[in-house]
Amino acid sequence: MAGGDQRKLITVADPAALATAAAERLLARIEMNAGRAAICLTGGSSPKQLYRLLATDPYRGRIPWDRVHWFVGDERFVPPSHPINNMGMARQIFLDRFAPAANIHPIPTDTVDSQESARRYESELQSFYGARELDPERPLFDVVLMGVGPDGHTASLFPDDPALEQTRRWVVGVPKAHVEPFVPRVTLTLPALGSCREMLFEIAGSEKHAILTRLLADENLPANRARSTGETVLLVDRAALGGEFP
Ligand code: 6PG
């Protein structure tokens, strides 16, 4: 990849191969951690095939559900049962069937506003982590899943939004989304998302070709500023690459 970039680019044939590759990476990271593992999920449509795969026999049987905790990197500020709620989607596809309820950590949306939700989730993350400062030697998450939007946003970190510049807060409220759905968001910040052993972007389909081209050209986009303190991986399919399959 382009100049001095530490990300790893992995190309696969199609969305099915991408989901399999993501599931295998997720499982490998869980296996590497003999204790309590923490996975930060993402929303939108990109991770749905992965979540469906994790619910199938071959995968669910390999997940040590008792010691894996599930978080989410951003949320749309709508009730948990609303069809566009990110954690609601993950719960419906796989978590509610297999994960102990105490291991599922949704961003609360029953608060007065997205700022209050962010404060509550930040304190939940800090109590899970056992400290209020992130130690680069002790990442918060084993894996952080990410997607990328057409404008280069990732999680709910939009271009030119002040949330991008947060260095102290772990979670912030974003009163206005820059793209659909236009509901307030709650998002983990770059330092919190980056505190992980692996940050794994899933980028598939021809509709992602334009933004993937801009990412690979190292444009100043939120998704290009999101980096793991460990490994950052772009998992892309042939259509997103514009048909190339190196
Ligand atoms: C959200 C997200 C967001 C998403 C991208 C890609 O809540 O919308 O977490 O960052 O990952 O917008 O979305 P798609 O996968 O739907 O293209």
Provide the 3-class DSSP secondary structure of residue 38.
strand
Give the type of residue at 200. L
The beta strand positions in 178-242, using DSSP E, are: 185-188, 196-203, 231-237
Residue ID of nearest Cα to ligand 1 atom 13: 44
> Is beta strand 8-12 parallel, antiparallel or unpaired with respect to 231-237?
parallel
> What's the gap in Å between 154 CA and the centre of ligand 1?
7
Sorted by sequence, the CB contacts under 8 Å of residue 141 that are 6+ apart come out as 38, 39, 40, 71, 195, 196, 197
Does a cis peptide bond (omega within 30 degrees of 0) precede residue 162? no
The whole-model pTM stands at 0.96
C-alpha closest to that of 146 among 21, 22, 16: 22
Q: Determine the residue of 45, 74, 193, 215 to mutate for testing ligand 1's pocket, defined as the one with the most ligand atoms within 8 A of the Cβ atom.
A: 74
Q: Determine the residue of 42, 77, 164 to mutate for testing ligand 1's pocket, defined as the one with the most ligand atoms within 8 A of the Cβ atom.
A: 42
Residue ID of nearest Cα to ligand 1 atom 9: 43
The H or E element that residue 142 is part of is: strand 141-146
Q: What is the structure's pLDDT at 243? A: 80
Give the CA distances from residue 121 to residues 79, 84, 187, 204, 219, in Å, rounded to whole numbers and listed in that order: 15, 19, 10, 30, 31
Q: What is the structure's pLDDT at 239? A: 97
The ligand 1 atom nearest the CA atom of 73: 9
> What's the gap in Å between 34 CA and the centre of ligand 1?
31
Q: What is the structure's pLDDT at 3? A: 38
Query: Alpha-carbon distance 124 to 128, whole Å?
Result: 6
Residue ID of nearest Cα to ligand 1 atom 3: 155
CB distance 75 to ligand 1 below 6 Å:
no
pLDDT in tens, the chain (246 residues): 433 347 999 999 999 999 999 999 999 999 999 999 999 999 999 999 999 999 999 999 999 999 999 999 999 999 999 999 999 999 999 999 999 999 999 999 999 999 999 999 999 999 999 999 999 999 999 999 999 999 999 999 999 999 999 999 999 999 999 999 999 999 999 999 999 999 999 999 999 999 999 999 999 999 999 999 999 999 999 999 998 555
Query: Alpha-carbon distance 142 to 26, whole Å?
Result: 9
Instruction: Name residue 72's beta-bridge partners.
Output: 41
Within 13 A of 63's CA, how many CA atoms are on the CB side?
A: 27
